[in-house]
Homo-oligomer: A and B are copies of this chain.
C-alpha cells in the first residue's frame, strides 16, 4: 500500500514539504508511484489525523509530521517555514466566539518575517 510509503516519507521529512517535494522523495525510491496517488494519500492521512496540513498563502500546501501544538512562521525572503513553540494565546477561542457568535472549532496562525539565516545577508 502506497499510503504507508507516503506516510513514512512525511514522517522522515521535517521541513514542511509540499506535495510535490513529498512526491519527489517518494518517487526516488518508488519510481512507479504517481503524483495523484501521493495527493490522494496525503489527503487521507490528513483526514485521519496522521499528519497535518499547513496552508500558506500564495503557495502549495505543506505537510507536517508534527502533530503537537505549535504554530508556523514563514520567512518572507527564502520561503522556509519554521516551527514556533509557544503556549496558545489565552482565551483566544472564547474571545472570538464572544466577538463573532461563531462556534470556533479550530484556527491557524501564520506568522511572516525574516529568518535568522536571511537576516545575515
Residues of A whose CB lies within 8 Å of any CB of B are 53, 55, 57-58, 61, 71, 73, 75-76, 82-86, 89-90, 92-93, 95-97, 99-116, 119
Q: Most chain-B Cβ atoms within 10 A of its Cβ — which of A61, A86, A109, A110? A: A109
Interface core residue of A89, A96, A105, A115 (most chain B CB under 10 Å): A96
- Contact (Cβ within 8 A) B102 A75: yes
Closest B residue to A89 by beta carbon equals: B89
Q: From the candidates B75, B86, B96, name the one contacting A73 in the complex (CB within 8 A).
A: B96
8 contacts between A and B (CB under 8 A): A53-B57, A55-B57, A73-B104, A93-B111, A102-B111, A104-B112, A107-B111, A107-B112
